[in-house]
Chains A and B, each alone.
Chain A
Amino acid sequence: MEKSNNSTQFEEDIRQSFGVPKIRSEFVAQLHGELIKRAVEKTPKTIPSFRLRPAWIIVFAVLSVMIVATLVIGPQRVFAAVRGLLGYIPDVGIVDNSVPIRVLAEPVGVTRDGITLTVTSATLTVDRTHIDYRIFGVPGSAYPDREDVMGCTQSEYLRLPDGTQLTRMDNDFQPVPAGVNNAVFVVPCIFNTLPGTVPENWELPLSFVPAPPDLAVMPVIELSPSPQASLLPDATALPESAGTSTALVDSAVTVNKVIETEDGYILVGQVQPQSKSGETTQITGDLEIRDASGKVVSYTHPADVSQEIAGASTGGTGWAVQFKAAGLVYPLTIRFPGVYLFQPDPSATAGFTFDAGPNPQPGQEWSPNQDIQIAGHTLKLVSIMADSRGGYSFRFQVDPEVYSASVQIEGSTPNGGGGGGGGGLTNGEFNVTLSYAQIPSGVLTVILSNLTLIGDPLTWQGQWSPTSPRADLPANPTLQPGVCLTADSLAQLEPAPSTLSNGKALLYEKLDDTGKWGLVLYNLDGSQKQVVVPAGNWGALSPDGNRVAYSATDNGIHIVDVTSQTEEILPGAGGFNLHWSPDGKQIAYVGMGDGVINSVFVINTDGSPGRQVSTWSYEAVIGWSPDGTQLYFVAPFTGGAAWKVYAYDLGSGAAQERFTIENGTAKFLNPKLSPDGNWIAYRGRDNSSLYLVRTDGSDMHLVLDNAGAVGIEWSRSGWLGVSLRKANSDESSTVLIKPDSCEAYLLPAALQGELEGLFIP
């Protein structure tokens, strides 16, 4: 692969002629921080560990300077004020409740060329207008057939009778003025569709009326911080960490808003890491909540108050959690883990030389494996690589105390750079990348400085209690009918009996030695580990458990014979989300083709031509009926607002709409059909719970409540296997459940990763 860095002076002159200034490092760090924040919010259920980047050091260093007061919360010192101005409406968020709220008089929909656009609800407050709308029926051919092409991105808006346009502000629109009870919802085009492929300029007239008295608007209690403040925290030993040097920084976690929900609370707050002079701090994980009895409180991150977090402006990092409150003992203690970072000797430097040659090329790599001493520590320079941005990337292995160091090439001024890894905080490595207008060549002297070490671990904490006890909640947690497991009850599960040990589980997991991910087959007792696919994804175990189909890195569908390890490639098929037919002769998958993006196809495993099942986009296969005559799949309303369930008859080629899943996650629904063809299991909107619903849409109920559900697989014998991601951890566990009886077992800890296949005879 050639790159443009085969730089001649002429090419460099062309770059210069565009007059592009150097990107500001502050901007780079700021945007990186925003992306990481969103990534943390996006990470289902838990944030295993923050990526540790220099940008975070900058962010927290700045914050530590900004923070001049420790805001203290606690049952004795909290001043709570119910202002009565803010209210919380589920799925809408926190709104200004000071003037009467209006809502949509009735849903409005219009269908054009088979595409239906429906405004299902609207909530009008003095500060914003929340519109819920959904679109269904956009053919795949309307979208670019290549992912490198984007279609229309024009944003929708509200047009008032006087012609005023109310545009988007984040997720909502500008407020509709009081007294204006009509507006037109205008959608210039359906997002990402190509010009001329589907109707454009959609206009739906909306009417607004006063909200009904039963509209659930929960009061938002705003907490004012205590006037008591101190510049520096007191560090004391953390009781449960006796024997370690973990320090506890009290009162650095604050709660700003409290919402009483039907079964618990939503808390919105901030963590404000602080550091002493000469030190910086680093948050290293997501928060943990324990009640006064020491019990860990499981929580979710509510998406509808995300704007409150983003709007946190008093310094610190915003957070929001939602949890059930039955049986909790107050106060709750909220903790964030972190570490101190410091430079043992800011003046210490070290250097080495390497010969890059006269014309270093992108991808060219040197492996010096050279030990470099600086400030009493040894940094092993593992490799240097010339990159495609006119610079070099230096990779170091370090001892557990080292976090990072600065790298410079003597005599050359970089115009950009970056780095990653947190040394001893991550995998004992960090890297530094430097970019130059003209890549330095020849014998280069490289200087290391600013060695940063990892200090003692610390914990930022705060406490919170409700101002008055809830009389409306049961004294102890009670499971809803049909719920088999919660995050709290996992630890009580028994191991699977030996009668199940002859089964097999296919997991997509991080491979031990390489750091890469692959497909691994286990016996259910954890024995007979077999790496079936060292580089592939979307595995599916054949009905007899002897073959694994997977999506290869080239997007092709490959089949591996587990016993012989022979592999075949299905000609002409490319995609993911693979599902074997009951007889093992066909595979349904989601793929791309002429005019379709992520639609459902069926391919014959003997290599003969298959068929296209659907023509919408971004679909997911649910599974085959037991007799193999019907294939169930879901098609999302645009944006994943809901999912329509279809049954495709392979005999007639007709797809019949069955019902709509309203409470599924938009991100990875992972629907799976039970082997008797009666139930569909899928992930809930919290990205953590698991629901079951019958294939006619009836009897929808929760089975795993906020348990971290990710991988879902049924065995032919009716066991439901689910891989569960643990809160605050990289770890996961796998459970087997009989949903009708809630008989459940915990599979051995060796079965880590995402469950992608289950075979139990």
Chain B
Amino acid sequence: MRESSISLTFDKDLPRTEERQIIQTARHDPQAFGELYRLYADQVFRYLYSRLGNVHEAEDVTAQTFLAAFEAFDRFRQDGNFAPWLFTIARNKAMDHFRRNKKQEPELSEEASSTEDEPLSSVIQSEQALALSRLIQGLPEDERELLRLRFLAEMTYGEMAHFLHRTEQAVKKTIYRLLARLQSQLEVSNGKIK
């Protein structure tokens, strides 16, 4: 890495250190929960949209998630595992939503992405992504969930391990293999197109 033109410090854990400080503050000052919300609103929404396929419903369940997390925050004790805790609530809220509406989780598809509000072209910007979308659509749900957690929820491998009750190494290995497989399939797919 090239040295920056101005003084540089490097601490990989700093974002989570900051998060822990916010969590500790929020235990005494409930309004500090707003900071945690700021940190995670985008990821939670993306994760839920990918499961629900509808902006309105994703917003609704995002709101439910944060309000439930806020109300349950007094019982949250593991400062280092806020993300897994929050996304567990999000996942359960999404499942509740499906149960209430008695519908199946939407398949990841062009149709799901091309609502009137959000035309496909505005959100999937490359042929590569379109091809990938089709490949991911064909994945089993547990593998799609891995991709959601990693790339939409932006979880670390450690957080994913906590969330999925698996070891960090196992999650890492699964993700690497999954990405390699997708890449390989994509190359084959591109070859066919050519």
Interface residues, chain A, with chain B CB atoms under 8 Å away:
1-5, 9-11, 13-21, 23-24, 27-28, 31-32, 34-36, 38-40, 42-43, 47-48, 50-51, 53, 146-150, 153-154, 354-359, 361-368, 385, 387-389, 416, 418, 420, 433, 435, 443, 516-517, 537, 553, 555, 576, 592, 598, 618, 667-668, 754
The 10 tightest CB contacts between A and B, nearest first, are: A19-B113, A148-B84, A39-B30, A16-B129, A355-B5, A17-B133, A17-B132, A39-B31, A418-B38, A21-B118
CB of B170 within 8 A of chain A? no
- Residue in contact with B1 in the complex, picked from A51, A359, A368, A555, CB distance below 8 Å: A359
A433 CA / B35 CA spacing, docked (Å): 12
User: Number of contacts between A and B (CB, 8 Å)?
Assistant: 241
Given the known interface contacts A34-B67, A365-B14, the answer about A517 and B9 at a Cβ–Cβ threshold of 8 Å is no
Question: Chain B: which residue is nearest A418 at the CB level?
Answer: B38
With A51-B32, A362-B15 as known contacts, state yes or no: A35 contacts B158, CB within 8 Å.
Answer: no
- Among A13, A42, A420, which residue has its beta carbon within 8 angstroms of that of B35? A420
Contacting pair B158 A13 (CB below 8 A): no
Given the interface contacts A53-B34, A388-B154, does A365 sit within 8 Å of B9 by beta carbon?
yes
Contacts of B20 in A (CB 8 A): 553
Within the assembled complex, what's the spacing in Å between the Cα atoms of A154 and B100? 9
Residues from 126 to 144 in B contacting A, C-beta threshold 8 Å: 126, 128-130, 132-133, 136
Residues from chain B with Cβ under 8 Å of A38 in the complex: 30, 67, 70-71
Using CB atoms, name the residue of chain B closest to A514. B21
A43 & B50 in contact (Cβ 8 Å cutoff): no
| 13 residue pairs bridging A and B, Cβ less than 8 Å apart | A1-B16, A5-B154, A9-B128, A14-B182, A16-B124, A18-B147, A40-B31, A153-B93, A357-B4, A443-B5, A553-B79, A618-B75, A667-B74
Within 8 A of A (CB), among B1-40: 1-16, 20-21, 24-25, 27-35, 37-38
Report the bound CA distance from A198 to B143 in whole Å.
31
Q: Give the complex CA separation of A668 and B30 in angstroms.
A: 14
Residues of A within 8 A of B124 (CB): 16-17, 19
Kindly state the separation between the CA atoms of A365 and B123 in the bound complex, as whole angstroms: 31
**In the complex, what residues of A have CB within 8 A of residue B13's CB?**
1, 363
Q: Are B31 and A36 in contact (CB under 8 A)?
A: yes
Measured between beta carbons, the chain B residues less than 8 angstroms from A18 are 46, 49-50, 108, 113, 133, 136, 147-148, 151-152
- Write out the residue numbers on chain B whose beta carbons fall within 8 Å of the beta carbon of A355: 2, 4-6
B167 interfacial contact with A, CB 8 Å: no
Given the known interface contacts A147-B81, A362-B12, the answer about A43 and B67 at a Cβ–Cβ threshold of 8 Å is no
Contact partner of B31 among A9, A19, A51, CB < 8 A?
A51
Give the residues in chain A near B155, CB-CB below 8 Å.
4
Residues of B38-87 at the interface with A, using a CB-CB cut-off of 8 Å, are: 38, 41-43, 45-46, 49-50, 55, 59, 62-63, 66-67, 70-71, 74-79, 81, 84-85, 87
In the complex where A15-B151, A18-B108, A388-B15 touch, is A367 in contact with B37 (Cβ < 8 A)? no
State how many angstroms separate the Cβ of A389 from the closest Cβ of chain B. Answer: 7
| Closest residue of A by beta carbon distance from B179 | A10
The answer to whether A148 touches B162 (Cβ under 8 A) is: yes
- List residues of chain B with CB within 8 A of the CB of A598: 75, 77
Q: A11-B151, A365-B14, A388-B15 are in contact. Are A23 and B45 (CB under 8 A)?
A: yes
Known interface pairs A48-B29, A149-B88; 16 further A-B residue pairs with C-beta atoms within 8 A, sorted by A's residue number: A5-B154, A17-B129, A18-B133, A19-B114, A19-B124, A20-B49, A28-B41, A34-B67, A147-B76, A147-B81, A354-B4, A366-B9, A416-B42, A418-B41, A555-B77, A598-B75
User: Could you tell me the distance between the alpha carbons of A23 and B13 in the complex, rounded to whole angstroms?
Assistant: 27
A385 & B14 in contact (Cβ 8 Å cutoff): yes
Smallest Cβ distance from B101 to chain A, in angstroms?
A: 13
Cβ-closest chain B residue relative to A390: B154
**B66 lies within 8 A of A35 (CB):** yes
Which residues from chain A contact B96 at a C-beta distance below 8 Å?
153-154
> Once bound together, how far apart are the Cα atoms of A24 and B67, in whole Å?
18
Shortest beta-carbon distance from B113 to chain A in Å? 3
Q: Which residues of B contact A19 (CB under 8 A)?
A: 108, 110, 112-114, 118, 120, 123-124, 133
Q: Residue on A with the closest CB to B87?
A: A148
Query: How close is B165's CB to chain A, nearest CB, in angstroms?
Result: 8
Contact of A389 among B42, B74, B92 (CB under 8 A): B42
B169 to chain A minimum Cβ distance, whole angstroms, is: 13
Cβ B37 vs Cβ A32 within 8 A: yes
A33: nearest residue on chain B (CB-CB)? B34
Do residues B33 and A13 form an inter-chain contact, with CB atoms below 8 A? Answer: no
B1 touches A358 (CB 8 A): yes
Give the chain B neighbours of A358 by CB distance below 8 A.
1-2
Q: Which partner residue on chain A sits nearest B86 by CB separation?
A: A148
Closest to B113 in A: A19
A432 CB to closest chain B CB, in angstroms? 11
The complex places the Cα of A435 from the Cα of B67 at a distance, in Å, of 24
The answer to whether B194 has its CB under 8 Å from any CB of chain A is no
Asked whether, in the complex, the Cβ of A14 is within 8 Å of the Cβ of B123, the reply is no
Output the least CB separation between B59 and chain A (Å). 5
| A385: B residues at CB distance < 8 A | 14-15
CA distance A359 to B67 in the complex (A): 37
Q: How many angstroms between the C-alpha atoms of A441 and B62 in the bound complex?
A: 31
Task: Establish whether residues B1 and A3, one from each chain, have CB atoms under 8 Å apart when the complex forms.
Answer: no
Contacts of A20 in B (CB 8 A): 45-46, 49-50, 123, 152
Residue of B with least CB distance to A364: B10
- How long is the Cα–Cα vector from A362 to B113 in the complex, in angstroms? 30
Beyond A23-B42, A32-B37, A618-B75, is A363–B133 a contact (Cβ under 8 Å)?
A: no
Residues of B within 8 A of A154 (CB): 96, 99
Inter-subunit contact A31/B123 (CB<8 Å): no
Given A148-B162, A366-B7, A367-B7, are A35 and B67 neighbors across the interface (CB < 8 Å)? yes
* Residues A21 and B5 in contact, CB atoms below 8 Å apart: no
Q: Are B38 and A364 in contact, with the CB atoms below 8 A?
A: no
Within the complex, the shortest CB–CB distance from B33 to chain A, in Å, comes to: 6
Are B55's CB and A357's CB within 8 A? no
